[in-house]
Amino acid sequence: MSLFGPESTFARRARQLDADDALASFRDEFVFPQHDGKPCAYFAGNSLGLMPKAARAALDEVLAEWGQLGVEGHMQARIPWYRYHEDLAPMLAELVGAGPHEVVAMNSLTVNLHLMLASFYRPQGKRRKIMLLPAEFPSDRYAAESHVRWHGLDRDECIVELPIDDSLRVSTEAILDAIESLGEELALVHMSAVHYLSGQLLDIEAITRAAHRVGAIAGWDLAHAIGNVPLRLHDWNADYAVWCSYKYLNSSPGGVGGAFVHERHARNPALLRLAGWWGNDPATRFTMPQWFEPVPSADSWQLSNAPVLALAVHRVALDQFHRAGIERLREKSIRLTGFVEEVLDALAAAYPALGIEIVTPRSPQERGAQLSVRFADGRAVQQYLLAGGVVTDWREPNIVRIAPAPLYTSYADVLRLACAVEAFAERFIGEPSTYEQQR
Ligand SMILES: Cc1ncc(COP(=O)(O)O)c(C=O)c1O
């Protein structure tokens, strides 16, 4: 008998939780990929978020203005292109817990990271080490490595990573101890706030404080954190942060990323920035000053004029977060992710041969909306789910990532995921390789 049939406790609870969900109507604002004429159950918003329906109209509006106004659109479009990025700042500021002058929508994540490292990684004397999160996303490691080499330093000496075991878990204490013992040798701590593989959420405030105590900079990669968990970067005193907008922020593949720079740096004209004309004070930009006059905000890290079409999509996606509210989303996220955890625990108990192991921390305070799961044959499970219209993703070497983004995921979707894993177990249990042979 199915654990998740229509009269099961799980199914009844899913119906009740959906009925009580104050954010349920947001689901209708998204376009879902289809499978057999039905929307997919989509658990890959931590990789690429879904398309807001309003994106099309937002693009059409800018295209129409471009057609009708030509160059005059810079000043006369409904949202003048000259200042278009400024219109997004208050909504980004809400998501990262900052003032609008501390955030800017620009470029892509890795480009922004290079801009931040140029300003904030300034090795001097023996203070030259960068501490990264172990098993960090490759782009962060490559960026850090290239800056170390750019300064003529040795990668193996300057890049420090804590050891990590199969649990993929890093304890805050271990990070704090390592920072303390590196002391004056530490120039920069750069870490992903939510780890892409394990889904672990770090204690940003404590790590930032520890970095500052030894005189180092603390910078954050929010790729998996922004739009996922509430943040208070200004109060936590982070020095910089960078992010992309195509994951939880649903702002299109390769959409515009962003950066946070704490106001104590953003307002400091003496801090070196790699400069371009769009970072110049907009009041004097078109007087074509000979030398760079940074606008006293995070905008001063902008290099080029902004890609308005991409920002138009980003704007409607951010507006959804503004209307939903990150705190309300977080409440739903904790409940929804907990529900995924419960169905996985039930499956693990009923079908031990599935080999289910939840890698992500069990405490909601140490995770966002992602559960990273090992199975005896995770690749086969992920492919089987996909073939049935349940989208999760696979990360080498053995992790299925399941991310119930609260803006558009229902409890009924979770039940569908559970039924699909159960169907896999019923069909292939004990011989997971059968699935591969039949495909
Ligand atoms: C943690 C993390 N850092 C960096 C990146 C790279 O982002 P981008 O390709 O937008 O530069 C990603 C992309 O998924 C990521 O997950």
Binned at pLDDT 50, 70 and 90, residue 439 comes out as very low
The pLDDT score that the predictor gives to residue 121 is 98
Q: With a cut of 50, say whether residue 361 has pLDDT above it.
A: yes
Side chain identity, residue 21:
D
* Cα distances (angstroms) measured from residue 221 to each of 71, 113, 183, 247: 36, 8, 22, 13
> What does the block give as tokens for 161?
């990573």
**Total residue length of the chain:** 439
CA separation for the pair 359, 409 (Å, rounded): 22
Q: How many CA atoms lie within 13 A of 196 on its CB side?
A: 22
Q: Which atom of ligand 1 is found nearest the CA of 257?
A: 10
Report the distance separating Cα 391 and Cα 358, nearest Å: 18
Q: Flag whether pLDDT at 437 surpasses 70.
A: no
pLDDT of amino acid 1: 77
Best residue among 136, 168, 244 to mutate for probing ligand 1, ranked by most atoms within 8 Å of CB: 244
Tell me which residue of 296, 305, 306, 302 sits closest to 274, measured CA to CA: 302
Handedness of CA 52, 56, 57, 61 (dihedral sign): positive
- Per-residue pLDDT at 428: 87
CA distance 244 to 82: 22
For the chain, report the end-to-end CA distance as a whole number of angstroms. Answer: 26
Ranges for all domains in the chain classified under CATH 3.40.640.10: 56-323
**In this predicted structure, what is the pLDDT of residue 37?**
96
How far does the centroid of ligand 1 lie from the alpha carbon of residue 47, in Å?
9
Which CATH number does the domain 56-323 belong to among 3.40.50.300, 3.10.20.30, 3.40.640.10, 3.30.230.70? 3.40.640.10
Domain with CATH 3.90.1150.10 in the chain: 9-31+325-438
Helix runs in 121-193, H state only: 138-150, 155-158, 172-182
Contacts for 273-279: CB closer than 8 Å, 24+ residues apart? 273/115, 273/118, 273/119, 273/300, 273/301, 274/115, 274/118, 274/119, 274/301, 274/303, 275/300, 275/303, 276/302, 276/303, 276/304, 277/303, 277/304, 277/305, 278/302, 278/303, 278/304, 278/305, 278/306, 279/303
Residue 370 reports pLDDT greater than 90 = yes
Q: For the domain 9-31+325-438, what is the CATH superfamily, name and number?
A: Aspartate Aminotransferase, domain 1 (3.90.1150.10)
The set of protein residues with a Cβ atom below 6 angstroms from ligand 1 is: 108-110, 137, 139-140, 192, 196, 221, 223-224, 244, 257
270-312 pLDDT per residue, tens: 999 999 999 999 999 899 999 999 999 999 999 999 999 999 9
Q: What band does 429 get if pLDDT is binned at 50, 70 and 90?
A: confident
Out of 133, 139, 195, give the residue to mutate to test ligand 1, the one with the largest number of ligand atoms within 8 Å of its CB: 139
Mean pLDDT, to the nearest integer, of 9-13?
98
What's the whole-number mean pLDDT along residues 409-421? 98
Write the residue with the smallest CA distance to atom 13 of ligand 1: 223
Please tell me the pTM assigned to this model: 0.96
**Which atom of ligand 1 lies nearest, measured to the CA of 113?**
11
| Residue 271 near residue 119 (C-beta atoms within 8 A) | yes
